[in-house]
Structure 1
Amino acid sequence: MSACVIMTEKSECIFFTYNGFRLHAHSFGSGSPVVLLHGFPEYWAIWRGQINGLVNDYRVIALDLPGFNLSTAPSRPNRMRSEDISEALLALITHLGIGQFSLIGHDIGGLLALACAARDPARIARLALVSSPHPADFISLRAGRPPDTPKDYADRILAHDDTGLFKPERLSFWIQNSNEKSALQAAMTSSDCDAIGALYRDNLAFDDLARWASLPAPACSVRAIYGDSDPFLPVTMLEGPYLRSLPNVTTRKLAGGGHFLHSSHPEWLGREIREWLAL
């Protein structure tokens, strides 16, 4: 285990190595800690709108998931299993001197947030899933689709048919601001496409359903936040039966909202997060 912290004017830039993972993160502000886990195709700075709204009152840690941007993953079979990644993420938070914290995950970052809550439930004060279904709902509802359902990005990744899928200019389609689009393209150019694919294949194959269905429910309150017009994840999946079965779950749904709420509706999402943190 090793770590390096680089001080900048507005944040700490952190590099931390644990069990083959090299994690890159930024820490902003002070106060009660909030950890942000991005999804695909993203990197730590996609939370910029929410960081700006939280930094005056909270310590905010935003990181690159393994394989994305400046975070790397080990080279071994099953290298991106959620159990190993969550252990590394929690080790990073411990290294930063943080005990209990609030955790927010977008998209596949929500899967890892649930894995962290299962591994060390006492440390997670509250958990939010943004445009992120329970993994068991994701797998089971996909398994029940009609056989003639058109293939989507997840089908392609799971089948190793991702030729051209990871082109940076293709992955940045959802960002309107030209500077932010260029920054995301640069981050995805620096990313490890094989590791990103492995994140899906090591956790979201049909035979992973049993381990997600038996995942211990988070001990903390859970807030599911999503748009009812998400083009990638239907509402039936975002509010599926495994999510609804969690004992302390509440939902917030944005009419007309899509998948990338942190970018398309940053003020709305920021208000929802601040309200949730204040409960």
Structure 2
Amino acid sequence: MPIFSAADGTRLAYHDRGEGDPLVVLPGGPMRASSYLGNLGGLDTGRRLVRLDLRGTGDSAAPADPATYRCDRMVADVEALRVRLGLDRMDLMGHSAGGSLAMLYAARHPERVRSLVLVTANPWALGTTATPEDRRSAALLRKGEPWFEEAFRALESWLDGTADPGPEMAPLFYGRWDAAAQEHEARADEEFNDEAAEVYGSEGAYDPPATLAALSRLTAPVLLLTGELDGAPNPELAHRTAAVFPHAEVAVQPGAGHYPWVDDPAWFADRVSRFLDGRPQLDGRP
């Protein structure tokens, strides 16, 4: 497990697997250890996956100053990783909340981004987010599944502010609530740094007008991959986010939720690989 030092001296870890051109991957959560990403559906068969453990998560050390958990302040950690890897330009992926970190990095260091992949990315850095109605509408697509009633009650309680999000909601984040999804979800509690998550998007983390202006000039190609059944972001929000970039495409993975590589690893890995390699899509995929 390689270790390097951030600009403030914090010791950061990354996990390196596979062979081929590097793909630097930023986890979501926010502030979840990168172990939940696994091999991203088998992307490591043709790519060298470099998963960063954000400060205070996974095998990375906690910083001396907890204020550095803020999303914009961790852009420097991503840049330090690029330098450590010796890359002039890099392919960069951000999942969920990590999508905002990836967008901030691309806005600050556009010349260092060869391509950008945003997987079910929450566009907080752009000043937008999924609405309660987005989440309800996506949840109602699952009506009739055996766990739906309990999950939907928990969702409503969270949206109306009467309860924190609970484990009953977990099936809504997956396209299929099968053994693979349940095993993936079971590890979540030990992978999160909840205190750091409170700081991630705190006041000052985002400057949407500046980020929008910078990303409107980004020359790198961008893929926004979203799940057909995801509510945050839903496909409509992914398309609106794509409109920010000059060279963006959207892929909607059929039957997938917030963790599309868990729902259909082969579909996910093939679609991302084709984008990264500049190959055309097959089978009428979006």
Q: TM-score, normalised by structure 1?
A: 0.74
Letter in 2 for 1:35: V
d(CA) in 1 for partners of 2:243 and 2:61?
34
d(CA) in 2 for partners of 1:275 and 1:268?
11
Other-structure match for 2:84: 95
2:47 to 41, 58, 65: 58
Task: Verify the 8 A CA contact 2:122 2:129 in the aligned structure 1.
Answer: no
* Structure 1 position 195, deviation (Å): 0.9
d(CA) in 2 for partners of 1:265 and 1:34?
20
Task: Verify the 8 A CA contact 2:215 2:244 in the aligned structure 1.
Answer: no
Other-structure match for 1:220: 220
Q: After superposition, where does 1:138-177 map in structure 2 within 5 Å?
A: 139=128, 142=131, 152=158, 176-177=179-180
d(CA) in 2 for partners of 1:84 and 1:122?
19
Paired residues in the alignment total 249
1:44 to 34, 39, 56: 34
SS of aligned partner of 2:11: strand
d(CA) in 2 for partners of 1:79 and 1:143?
30
Letter in 2 for 1:109: G
Provide, for residues 127-163 of structure 1, a one-character-per-residue CA deviation record: whole Å limited to 9, x for no partner: 0111114335553765999xxx96758x98xxxx9x9
Letter in 1 for 2:190: A
Other-structure match for 1:193: 194
1:15 to 3, 10, 14: 3
Q: TM-score, normalised by structure 2?
A: 0.72
d(CA) in 2 for partners of 1:68 and 1:77?
12
Q: Pick closer, same or farther for the CA change 1:52–1:214 going to 2, 3 Å.
A: same
Q: Pick closer, same or farther for the CA change 1:128–1:46 going to 2, 3 Å.
A: same
Task: Verify the 8 A CA contact 2:130 2:233 in the aligned structure 1.
Answer: no
Task: Verify the 8 A CA contact 2:70 2:201 in the aligned structure 1.
Answer: no
Other-structure match for 1:6: none
Q: Pick closer, same or farther for the CA change 1:138–1:272 going to 2, 3 Å.
A: farther
Percent identity, please.
22
Q: Pick closer, same or farther for the CA change 1:202–1:15 going to 2, 3 Å.
A: farther
Is 1:229 matched with 2:229? yes
SS of aligned partner of 2:266: helix
d(CA) in 1 for partners of 2:169 and 2:28?
12
SS of aligned partner of 2:215: coil
d(CA) in 1 for partners of 2:84 and 2:227?
35
d(CA) in 2 for partners of 1:185 and 1:71?
17
Other-structure match for 2:250: 251
* Structure 1 position 275, deviation (Å): 0.6
Q: Pick closer, same or farther for the CA change 1:92–1:275 going to 2, 3 Å.
A: same
Other-structure match for 2:284: none
With 57-66 and 100-109 compared, the bigger mean Cα shift is at 57-66
Structure 1: where are the runs of 5+ without partners? 1-12
Q: Pick closer, same or farther for the CA change 1:140–1:51 going to 2, 3 Å.
A: closer
SS of aligned partner of 1:139: coil
Task: Verify the 8 A CA contact 1:140 1:209 in the aligned structure 2.
Answer: no
* Structure 1 position 172, deviation (Å): 7.0
Letter in 2 for 1:15: I
With 42-51 and 26-35 compared, the bigger mean Cα shift is at 42-51
Is 1:110 matched with 2:94? no
